[in-house]
């Protein structure tokens, strides 16, 4: 199997009161786990299809593969994007790049907050590195993998599927997104920014 569920880098209760332990535990142990098993089972079904030379279900399998790998990817990033010691604002080169590409940290924060809050249905808000323009962009992701700029690398992601917040915040998605800013792990995002900038598209 290619995919395994990563442990959370902190206890279930570590992000309280911003993220309630029960909501976080179900989110990680059940929802994220389902994307991992979905990616592995789809990979197995693709292997069987190749062995049989039967690609009758290929279109559906490819869609399922993209959905589950993308869900696994974004959740894996999301857990590390948060920390009990998080919050505040970025420093150094990441702070300078946000200033350059969005005008100010506050303008960036407002755009990403609204990108997340205004997702119609299930999706994510994301700060991503876009290698063609060599710049940071905010993206509004539908499901786990739609509405993306190809080649962009997610650095900071905010899950706004109802499963992410409904147990704690009910229908108040904006309250959840605003609370998440209090636990954002800026050193993790700065490290992702540094790594992503080394990738170029020619
Ligand atoms: Mn989720």
151-172 tens-digit pLDDT: 999 999 999 999 999 999 999 9
97-132 tens-digit pLDDT: 999 999 999 999 999 999 999 999 999 999 999 999
H or E stretch at 190: helix 186-196
CA–centroid distance, residue 171 to ligand 1 (Å): 15
Helix, strand or coil, per DSSP, at residue 88? coil
* Residues 126 and 148: beta-carbon distance below 8 Å: no
Per-residue pLDDT band for 200 (boundaries 50, 70, 90) equals confident
Neighbours of 45 (CB within 10 A): 16
pLDDT at 202: 61
pLDDT score of 33 more than 70? yes
Classify residue 53 by its DSSP letter.
T
CA–centroid distance, residue 50 to ligand 1 (Å): 31
| All structural domains of the chain | 21-80 (1.10.287.990), 92-198 (3.55.40.20)
* Residues 139 and 149: beta-carbon distance below 8 Å: yes
Neighbours of 139 (CB within 10 A): 19
CA–centroid distance, residue 31 to ligand 1 (Å): 6
Q: Any idea which residue has 């998440």 for tokens?
A: 180
CA–centroid distance, residue 130 to ligand 1 (Å): 23
CA–centroid distance, residue 154 to ligand 1 (Å): 15
pLDDT at 1: 86
pLDDT at 108: 98
CA–centroid distance, residue 124 to ligand 1 (Å): 9
CA–centroid distance, residue 125 to ligand 1 (Å): 12
CA–centroid distance, residue 8 to ligand 1 (Å): 13
Name the strands in the sheet holding 153-159, side by side, starting at the edge strand that comes first in the sequence. Answer: 135-142, 123-130, 153-159
- The mean predicted confidence, pLDDT, of the chain is 97
- Residues contacting residue 42 through CB under 8 Å, at least 6 positions apart: 61, 64, 65, 68
Per-residue pLDDT band for 139 (boundaries 50, 70, 90) equals very high
CA distances from 128 to 7, 131, 134, 184 (A): 24, 10, 11, 15
Residues near ion ligand 1 (Cβ under 5 Å): 31, 159, 161, 164
Whether the model clears a pTM of 0.95, i.e. scores above it, the answer is: yes
57-102 tens-digit pLDDT: 999 999 999 999 999 999 999 999 999 999 999 999 999 999 999 9
For the chain, first and last CA: distance in Å? Answer: 32
CA atoms within 13 A on the CB side of 39: 19
CA–centroid distance, residue 100 to ligand 1 (Å): 31
* Residues 142 and 121: beta-carbon distance below 8 Å: yes
């Amino acid at each position: 199997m290619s995919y395994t569920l990563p442990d959370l880098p902190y206890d279930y209760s570590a992000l309280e009161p911003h993220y309630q332990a029960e909501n976080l535990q179900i989110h990680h142990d059940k929802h994220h786990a389902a994307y991992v098993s979905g990616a592995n089972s789809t990979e197995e079904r693709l292997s069987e299809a190749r062995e049989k030379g039967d690609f009758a279900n290929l279109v559906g399998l490819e869609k399922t593969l993209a959905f589950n790998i993308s869900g696994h990817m974004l959740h894996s990033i999301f857990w590390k994007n948060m920390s009990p010691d998080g919050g505040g604002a970025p420093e150094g080169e990441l702070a300078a790049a946000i200033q350059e590409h969005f005008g100010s940290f506050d303008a960036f924060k407002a755009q990403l907050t609204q990108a997340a809050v205004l997702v119609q249905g299930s999706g994510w808000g994301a700060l991503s590195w876009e290698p063609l323009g060599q710049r940071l962009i905010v993206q509004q992701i539908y499901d786990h993998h739609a509405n993306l700029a190809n080649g962009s690398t997610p650095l900071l992601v905010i899950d706004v599927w109802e499963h992410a917040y409904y147990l704690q915040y009910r229908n108040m998605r904006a309250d959840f997104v605003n609370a998440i800013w209090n636990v954002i792990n800026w050193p993790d995002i700065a490290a992702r920014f540094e790594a992503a900038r080394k990738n170029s598209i020619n």
